[in-house]
Structure formats: structure tokens, C-alpha cells
Amino acid sequence: MNRDLEGRTIIVTGGGSGIGRAAALACSISGARVVVADIVVAGGEEIVSAIRRTGGDAIFVTTDVAREEQVEALVAVALSKYGRLDGAFNNAGLSQTNVPLHELTAEQWRRIQSVNYDGVFFCMKHEIRTMLSTGGGSIVNTSSTLGRVAMRNAADYCGSKGGVLGVTKGAAVDYGDKHIRVNAILPGAVNTPMVQALVSDPQFADLIEKIRASHPLERIGAPEEIAAAVVWLLSDKASFVTGTELVVDGGFLAT
């Protein structure tokens, strides 16, 4: 068993379900002490219990990443509990509103941006401040293949995920000489509660088959497959990788 994150402290936002849950578990298996953050208490507490049952070390902090004071408190808890912060997977996010752009209200637009884009900024701001004082680290932000290409009725989501790519590259340039690496991961369609909720909507009844057909591997991904890539980016095996967009999409963007 690889222990590529042995003894390190890693924050995982959106860690209570889907890709975040899989990443929290994968980081623990790789030796990390995991600080799970989520707005949904039940999911966050469940994965912490699962990690502890396997002999891992984890805590849960209820966090709304759209609120900077809660993000600042999250990072403070990680530092108080474990003494340092070595990595973070900024993964918390919302799916699109599913209406065309001209029908989006300002409230709907801001709801998506506040979590998917502002939340990543708030997390990086306070994670980087701490990493600067503890010798550096590695940050992975969740973007999406829809940060590169678009689908119908998803301008709000595509805009937020494209923004994540830009702020990731900006931070990578700003802090490379401070031993802080910053990268983005671009999942394709993954079997998460977010995707399951989308395809359960009657207006998207045939969407899952269209998604499968659009991926050369002819299937959607598993959260564990994305988590494995995240662990690699967080580890020293990716020590010369920063400012990159790691696509894990079953070939979707190649078509």
C-alpha cells in the first residue's frame, strides 16, 4: 500500500459525498490526517467515522465555503488540531441551475458562483496563508470538463468552473517560488449524487446514455478514479507539476 501522504494534514471540502468523500478516504489510506469539510453534517460525520474505523485520523468541520469567515475558521481548526497544513482539495460545489442564461436570475447566478468560484478563492486565500508559515504545500481545485467546453443550460456552471481554471493558474504563478503547488482537476461525468440527481430529472431522462456515448471509454467515471488522481497531485510524485489542468474524463474532451 502506497503511503504517499504519510503524516500530512489535508483539508477536503465537499468531503461528505461523491468525489470529496472518495478523496477523503483515499488521502487517509495514503497516510494523511484528514480535515473533512461539508455543509451537510451527516455526510461529513459519516466519512470521518469510516476513516476512523480503518485506523485513520480525521475530523469534521461544518463549513459553508461561500462564507469566508467559515473557511477561515476551518483552516484555523486544522492548524490547531494538527499543527500544520500540507495540502487541500477544494472540491465543494453546486450543479447548474438548468435554465438558459437569459432566464437566470441574479440570485441563481450568484448562488453558483459563490460556492464554485468564490469558495475556491476563499479556501486558497486562507490555506495559502497557513502554508506560507509552515513551509509550503499542495492545493488541488475541482474544475470540470465544462470549464473547457459547454453544454446547454449550464452557462452558470461553465462560467464558475472556467473561473476556477484561471484562479488556479494565477495562484500557481504567484506561489511557485514559495513551495506551494496549485493545480486543477477536470473530471468528466462521474457517478456522484450530483449527477444522479441530474439524470433523475424527467427532462434529462436520456441524458445518462448520451453521456456514456460521448465518452470513448463508454462509461461514466467512479469517484475513486478521480480521488486517485487527486492524491497523486497532492503527493511528492507530482513535485514538478503546478498550474496544470489534469483531465480525468474517460476521453470526453478528446472527441
**CA–CA separation, 183 and 18 (whole Å):** 20
Residue 157 falls in the annotated catalytic set: yes
- Residue 128: which of 189, 192, 177, 61 has the closest Cα? 177
- What is the per-residue DSSP string for the chain? ---TTTT-EEEEETTTSHHHHHHHHHHHHTT-EEEEEES-HHHHHHHHHHHHHTT-EEEEEE--TTSHHHHHHHHHHHHHHHS---EEEE--------S-GGG--HHHHHHHHHHHTHHHHHHHHHHHHHHHHHT-EEEEEE--GGGTS--TT-HHHHHHHHHHHHHHHHHHHHHGGGTEEEEEEEE-SB-SHHHHHHHTSGGGTTHHHHHHHHSTTSSPBPHHHHHHHHHHHHSGGGTT--S-EEEESTTGGG-
Catalytic entry in 82, 117, 157, 175: 157
Supply angle C-alpha 2, 23, 42, rounded to 5.
135
Residue 131, CA atoms < 13 Å, CB-side half-sphere: 26
- Known catalytic residues are 157
